[in-house]
């Protein structure tokens, strides 16, 4: 790893950040950053004067660490994802690249394959390229990498997943899981299977918690055998779907915790001569572009990738500190033909 950086205010909970000044002034963080940048002559515009006055009133003090990030020597942000063959991760990287571009940063990507050792090596590779910050879409709930980055004062933010400690920009996974299962219950289904995704990720844990909340609220008792921990890939969804549909007593509906899983379930249903949207209702998650183009368009919970990416850049540029700076974007259920009313 490269030498430890100093100046990180991880223990302070009362520090005023650029975000605080921006909120009080009613302007963007980037505007505040430009106004308070001591490298350029101060602007005399009404907005700039107001921003400086508010910063002084709030007691804002420049965070040297965050300032160094904003002035980054390379103007590059490293993005670490499990794999780019995963459509969700590709969409997330593209959104981060767009958000970085708006702040005059360039995003470069490295992959880890969801392997902690490979993740560590990929992070080292990014740091050796002197990136000015790292965005992690790989974090497991037991991942030591975010802790290492915190301890060494290396600017970073987690996206889509959180470890509960590092700055994180995620979707509200619990609400999303709730919306998906509540939708199926409202259609009259009670025999509902849930494919969770890997429970070492906060996203899978949150979506399962939301599903259980919907079951509890409706007084539905799901069969334990129909809550299946899986990977997030198409093959994992196909394998789980075959097991569900091979049984004599099968569910009438499936909530798959991402769209790749849902695609695997759709394949398994076809192999068992079951028609999604007729014999089986199916709901996915993330609403990847392919979802609406399938022969039977997929009902899915839409993830706000651009909002998550924009917030991630804000967290990096504002030098967010304090315990667990967590920002969540609300998901939206997009009903389509793959989910229908239960047979009476």
Terminus-to-terminus CA distance in the chain, angstroms? Answer: 62
**How many angstroms separate the CA atoms of 334 and 279, rounded?**
20
Please check the confidence at residue 7 and state whether its pLDDT lies above 70: no
| Res. 187: pLDDT tops 60 | yes
Q: What percent of the chain has pLDDT over 90?
A: 61
pLDDT of residue 62: 65
Q: What is the pLDDT of residue 327?
A: 94
Give 217-233 pLDDT, tens digit per residue.
Answer: 999 999 999 999 999 99
The residue ranking higher by pLDDT, 19 or 204, is 204
Residues 6+ apart with CB under 8 A from 249: none
71 or 62, greater pLDDT: 62
With cut-offs at 50, 70 and 90, classify the pLDDT of residue 33.
confident
Write down the pLDDT at residue 294: 96
Nearest partner of 277 among 183, 341, 332, 188, judged by Cα: 341
pLDDT of residue 81: 93
Residues in Cβ contact with 168 at an 8 Å cutoff, skipping those fewer than 6 apart: 157, 158, 159, 161, 162, 315, 324, 325, 326, 327
Rounded distance between C-alpha atoms, residue 32 and residue 237, angstroms: 46
The answer to whether the beta carbons of residues 24 and 18 sit under 8 Å apart is no
Distance, in Å, from the CA atom of 165 to the CA atom of 147, rounded to the nearest integer, reads 8
Q: How far apart are CA 159 and CA 308, in angstroms?
A: 7
Q: Does the pLDDT value for residue 38 go beyond 80?
A: no
User: Mean pLDDT score of the chain, rounded to an integer?
Assistant: 87
Tokens representing residue 168 in the block:
């994180």
DSSP 8-state symbol, 138: -
Q: Give the span between the Cα atoms of 166 and 26, in whole angstroms.
A: 26
Rounded CA separation 268/70 (Å): 49
Q: Is the pLDDT of residue 25 over 70?
A: yes
CA–CA gap between residue 158 and residue 170 (Å, rounded):
8
- Is a pLDDT exceeding 60 seen at residue 128? yes
- What confidence tier does 116 reach under pLDDT thresholds 50, 70, 90? confident
Distance CA 158, CA 150 (A): 12
Could you give the CA distance from residue 29 to residue 315 in angstroms, rounded to a whole number? 10
Extract the tokens encoding 243: 């097991």
Segment 131-156 shows an average pLDDT of: 86
Could you report the per-residue pLDDT of 285-308, keeping only the tens digit for each? 999 999 999 999 999 999 999 999
Higher local confidence (pLDDT), 188 or 37 = 188
Check whether 205 has a pLDDT greater than 90: yes
Mean pLDDT across the stretch 191-214?
96
pLDDT tens digits along 319-335: 655 555 899 999 999 99
Tell me, what's the pLDDT at 290? 95
Map tokens 């991760």 to a residue: 89
The per-residue pLDDT for 63 is 54
Q: How wide is the angle at C-alpha 149 spanned by C-alphas 146 and 154, nearest 5°?
A: 135
146-181: per-residue pLDDT in tens? 888 888 888 899 999 998 888 999 999 999 999 999
How far apart CA 209 and CA 11 sit, in angstroms, is: 31
């Amino acid at each position: 790893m490269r030498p430890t950086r100093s100046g990180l205010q991880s223990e302070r909970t009362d520090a005023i950040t650029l975000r605080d000044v921006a909120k009080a002034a009613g302007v963007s963080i980037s505007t505040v950053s430009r106004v308070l940048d001591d490298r350029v002559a101060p602007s005399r515009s009404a907005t700039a004067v107001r921003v400086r006055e508010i910063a002084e009133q709030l007691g804002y003090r420049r965070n040297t660490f965050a300032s160094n990030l904003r002035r980054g020597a390379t103007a590059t942000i490293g993005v670490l994802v499990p794999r780019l063959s995963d459509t969700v991760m590709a969409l997330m990287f593209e959104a981060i690249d767009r958000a970085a571009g708006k702040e005059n940063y360039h995003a470069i990507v490295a992959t880890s394959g969801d392997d902690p050792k490979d993740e560590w090596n990929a992070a080292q590779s990014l740091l050796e390229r002197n990136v000015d910050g790292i965005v992690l879409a790989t974090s497991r709930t037991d991942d030591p990498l975010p802790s290492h980055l915190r301890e060494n004062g290396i600017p970073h933010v987690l996206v889509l997943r959180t470890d509960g400690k590092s700055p994180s920009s995620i979707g509200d996974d619990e609400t999303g899981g709730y919306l998906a299962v509540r939708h199926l219950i409202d259609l009259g289904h009670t025999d509902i299977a849930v494919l969770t995704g890997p429970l070492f990720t906060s996203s899978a844990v949150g979506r399962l918690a939301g599903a259980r909340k919907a079951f509890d609220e409706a007084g539905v008792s799901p069969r334990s055998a129909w809550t299946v921990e899986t990977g997030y890939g198409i093959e994992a969804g196909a394998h789980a779907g075959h097991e569900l549909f091979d049984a004599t007593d099968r569910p009438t509906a499936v909530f798959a915790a991402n769209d790749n899983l849902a695609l695997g379930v759709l394949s398994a249903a076809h192999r068992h001569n079951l028609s999604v949207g007729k014999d089986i209702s199916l709901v996915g998650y993330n609403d990847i572009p392919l979802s609406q183009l399938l022969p039977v368009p997929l009902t899915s919970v839409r993830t706000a990738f651009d909002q998550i990416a924009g917030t991630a850049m804000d967290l990096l540029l504002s030098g967010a500190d304090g315990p667990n700076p967590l920002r969540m974007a609300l998901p939206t259920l997009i009903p389509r033909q793959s989910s229908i009313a239960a047979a009476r």
